[in-house]
C-alpha cells in the first residue's frame, strides 16, 4: 500500500516537473517574441528619427513644409507610445499568466492533499 502511494507521488512530481519545463519553454518563446518586437520598434523609430533629422534642416531653409515634419514627429511619438503600451501589456499578461498558473497549481496541490487524508 505504501509503495503504491509513493509511486503515485513520484509520478505526480514527474508530471509537475514536466509541466514546469513546458512553461519555462513557453516563457522563453514569449521572451524571444518580445525581444523581436522591441528590435522592430527600435529600428522603425530609428528610421523615423533619421528622416526627421534629414527634413529639419530642409524645413529651416523653407524647402519642406511644417505639415510634413509635424506628421513624421507625430508618427514617431505614436510609435514610441505603441512600443511602451505593448511592453506594458506584455508584462502585465506575463504576470497574470504566472499568477493564474500558481493559483491553479495551489488548487491542485490542495485537492491532492485532501484526497490523501
pLDDT at 83: 79
Of residues 40 and 53, the one with the higher pLDDT is 53
Which of 109, 103, 61 minimizes the C-alpha distance to 69? 61
Counting DSSP H helices and E strands in the chain, the numbers are 2, 0
Instruction: Quote the percentage of the chain above a pLDDT of 90.
Output: 25
The predicted model scores a pTM of 0.57
How confident is the model at residue 3, as a pLDDT?
Answer: 64
Predicted confidence at residue 94, as pLDDT, reads: 66
Q: Which pLDDT score, from 0 to 100, does residue 106 have?
A: 67
- Summarised one tens digit per residue, pLDDT across range 102-111 is 667 766 766 7
Amino acid at each position: 500500500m505504501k509503495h503504491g502511494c509513493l509511486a503515485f507521488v513520484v509520478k505526480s512530481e514527474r508530471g509537475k516537473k514536466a509541466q514546469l519545463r513546458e512553461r519555462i519553454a513557453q516563457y522563453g518563446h514569449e521572451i524571444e517574441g518580445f525581444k523581436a518586437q522591441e528590435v522592430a520598434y527600435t529600428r522603425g523609430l530609428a528610421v523615423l528619427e533619421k528622416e526627421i533629422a534629414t527634413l529639419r534642416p530642409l524645413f529651416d531653409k523653407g524647402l519642406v513644409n511644417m505639415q510634413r515634419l509635424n506628421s513624421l514627429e507625430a508618427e514617431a511619438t505614436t510609435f514610441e507610445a505603441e512600443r511602451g503600451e505593448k511592453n506594458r501589456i506584455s508584462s502585465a499578461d506575463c504576470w497574470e499568466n504566472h499568477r493564474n498558473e500558481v493559483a491553479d497549481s495551489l488548487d491542485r496541490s490542495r485537492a491532492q492533499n485532501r484526497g490523501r487524508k
